[in-house]
Amino acid sequence: MSTQEIAKVAAADIEPNRRRGGELRVVLGPKTAGATTGFLGVLTMAPGDYVSEHYHPYSEEFLYVVRGTLLVRVDSEPVELAAGEGLLVPINARHSVRNTSDEPAEAVFHLCPLAPRPELGHVDTESLPRPDEAQPGVGASR
């Protein structure tokens, strides 16, 4: 038997992080669900919106598009993803995400393993679209 509690979390209950672009919500993570190996969230993007380029020195990122179309640049290579398609972003690969369509887009993302400390998990490589906006921590509490 597991000693970890079962955690049910609604995306609507998570404060969105808009600092790097788009609207990111970590739904299942260390702070929201007690996760110990990774985190899962949703990304919502209006037409023309983007998430600035960054990389994860400890984690792979899995990205699955639920609605709309996204253009993901991985180490400067463009990859277009439509609803029902997924992409694996390798550890240390620089990547950004942009909604180039006229429709809203939504994707699910998962990163694992976790970095040794939250501040080591994400490295920005370009200016942030909203640098002054408060940034909830990874898996910010409900």
Give pLDDT tens digits for 110-139: 999 999 998 899 999 998 888 887 666 544
Cα separation of 23 and 51, whole Å? 9
CATH class name, domain 12-102: mainly beta
Say what the pLDDT of residue 133 is: 79
Say what the pLDDT of residue 106 is: 98
Q: How far is CA 73 from CA 89, 93, 132, 133, in A?
A: 10, 10, 25, 24
Residues whose CB is less than 8 angstroms from the CB of residue 60 and which lie 6 or more positions away in sequence, other chains included? 88, 89, 90, 91, 111, 112
Cα separation of 48 and 84, whole Å? 20
Predicted model pTM: 0.89
| Strands 86-89 vs 23-28: parallel, antiparallel or unpaired | unpaired
Give pLDDT tens digits for 30-81: 999 999 999 999 999 999 999 999 999 999 999 999 999 999 999 999 999 9
